[in-house]
Amino acid sequence: MQITLDYTKTLEQNAAMLYEKAKKARKKRQGAEASLKRTEEQLEKGVALQKKTELAKERKRPWYDHFHWFISSEDFLVIGGRDATTNEIIVKKQTAQGDLVFHSELAGSPFFVVKAEGKKIGEITKTEAAIATASYSRAWRQGLTTMEVFAVAPDQLSKTPQSGEYISKGSFIVRGRKERFMVSLQLALGVYREGIMAGPLSAVSRHCSRLIEIAPGKEKSGKAAKLIQKRIGGELDDIIRGIPAGGVQVKGVRLREI
């Protein structure tokens, strides 16, 4: 390091001049370091925000996520009502010609719809839709193990009651022939793409690599959901939404290649 002295000044004056230069240089360095730190923090925040935005895009919910839903073993989308309002929406706005609507005689039963999308609905899908309908009904809360469910075409449902009858929100009058199914109550929850699929074991095991089976039981749904999350992952809210109202029995985890 070279030091330049001013020969017109005294030694003390040169020392004072050098001290001031050093002090200014130190301030500049400190300012540069602070600026660099601010820039780094802004970059980190920008990266974090970008990642958060990308994650939000990846986690964009499909339209049917407002309902119960699963993909059948035969690749049909099956959606079901969570309450009276979503029952009403499903039947009135989400059914089309060729679809099948599933319901039961038990009060409080949800409506489930198999979306045909121009294809013939197979017997496996019908059975899976019946299982979901039974499992998300009050039969689960009542601890029943089997239940009868029926299927009809959308045009067999009506909101027009007979004289003296009253139709509550989420309920419909069913007319004509019914196709009936006697099914067992059982469900599974599995990691599907970026979310959780909840439906009959046969359907969930067809599409999910990590899944867990549940049945009516005595465990509270909140505690069961945390146990399920610990075993297979996924968002806790998604898991809770997939568990029927009432007690739960959590069965074994299944892992497989798909």
> Domain tally for the chain?
3
Residues 159 and 206 in one domain: no
Shared-domain flag, residues 106 and 171: yes
Contact partners, residue 240, CB within 8 Å, separation at least 6: 221, 222, 225
Instruction: For residue 24, give its domain range.
Output: 11-51
> What is the pTM for the complete model shown?
0.74
The answer as to whether 4 is a domain residue is no
pLDDT in tens, 84-119: 999 999 999 999 999 999 999 998 899 999 999 999
Q: What is the pLDDT of residues 228-240, one digit of tens each?
A: 999 999 999 999 9
Residues 34 and 82 in one domain: no
Given 131, 150, 184, which residue is the final one in a domain? 184
Residue 197 in any domain: the answer is yes
Same domain as 228, residue 164: no
The pLDDT tens digits of the residues spanning 164-210 come to 666 777 688 788 999 999 999 999 999 998 789 999 999 999 999 89
Q: What is the distance between the alpha carbons of residues 196 and 199, in angstroms, rounded to a whole number?
A: 10
Residue with the two structure tokens 């299927």: 151
Position 6 in a domain: no
Same domain, 112 and 175: yes
How far apart are alpha carbons 206 and 204 in whole angstroms? 5
103 and 199 in one domain? no
Same domain? For 73 and 180 the reply is yes
Going by C-alpha positions, the residue among 108, 242, 124 that lies closest to residue 187 is 242
Q: How many other CB atoms are there within 10 angstroms of residue 168's CB atom?
A: 8
* Residue environment code for 118-141, b if the CB has 16+ CB neighbours within 10 A, otherwise e: eeebeebbbbbbbbbbbbbbbbbe
